[in-house]
Amino acid sequence: MIVAKDGSGAFTTIQEAVDSIPENNKERVTIYIKEGIYKEKLVITKPFISLIGMSPENVVITYDDYARKQLPGGEEMGTFASYSVFIGADDFAAKNITFENSAGYGTVVGQAVAVYAGGTQVEFHHCRFLGRQDTLFTGPLPPKPIEGNTFGGPMEGKEKKPCETFFYDCYLEGDIDFIFGSATAVFQSCDIFSLDRKEETNGFITAASTPEGQPFGYVFIDCRLKSEAAPETVYLGRPWRDYAKTVFINCWMDAHIKKEGWHNWDKKRAETTTFYAEYNSTGPGGKMKNRVQWAHVLSQEEADKYILRFKRSESVK
């Protein structure tokens, strides 16, 4: 299938191409996307779909919904309905595409999700994720909200299945909790860029909600953490839920990373239940000896187990 805004393909929108696939699809279907800016709130709930763009700079899927947006009934949209792209199916892959939420600053609009990855065996290769607060959510949802009775969004009330996602040579940017959720998610050879809010605390890269008993949460291997923000203004992460797991292995960190590395989200209990760890961090912000006492430094043997379990050569479905 070919999608092209200029009419040279079978479809002019990506959603039209997705909708043409049978509901009970059981075979890999590849949708090629020609250059263009596709302003679509894209929903994918059928498995075995691949989206292949011409290049990440020239194929952009964008939308501008946000958590504080007022709906017709007077209620706010909420974080989990603000996505630009929702992937609620398994065995999804994307390559050479930019996913963007253009709503703007979180101080004004609240959370604004670019991609809601709610399936398992989901892969992104050479993709860009652009947003500010809560750019990327990797499902499933936690067992219950901290406030209120519902999360809202497309997975509310549905079975919470474990999810695995993989990111290879991707670029992810944002400021507050811009990589968050409960999945086992591996980021290999990615650029992680923290935007500058020009505040004393510019942000938090991760906000994991790893379920209790799940062995792995967020794993970053051979990544580069960059920013134009002032030195020591960005945390590696804070626990959205108490059993958050996040590990950085062989990552280069610029000076924007705070020397203490991690924040407990003002939850003292989380200091004993989280697993935050590093191995061979380098760069101005990679001085592991200055981290909070409740963080971990992996041994080479421990790090090798992660690398053997998760690192892989490039592939795309």
Which active-site residues does the annotation give?
A: 134, 177
Nearest alpha carbon to residue 317 among 26, 53, 5, 49: 49
Nearest alpha carbon to residue 163 among 110, 205, 217, 213: 217
Range 267-273 contact pairs with CB under 8 angstroms and sequence separation of 24 or more: 267/239, 267/242, 269/242, 270/239, 270/242, 270/244, 273/212, 273/239, 273/242, 273/243
Tokens of 225: 């953490």
Torsion of CA 197, 200, 205, 210, to 10 degrees: -130
Distance of CA 128 to the CA centre of its chain: 10
- SS3 call for 290: helix
Whether 94 and 50 have beta carbons less than 8 Å apart is answered as: yes
Distance of CA 109 to the CA centre of its chain: 19
Please, what's the largest Cα pairwise distance for the chain?
59
Tokens of 40: 């679509």
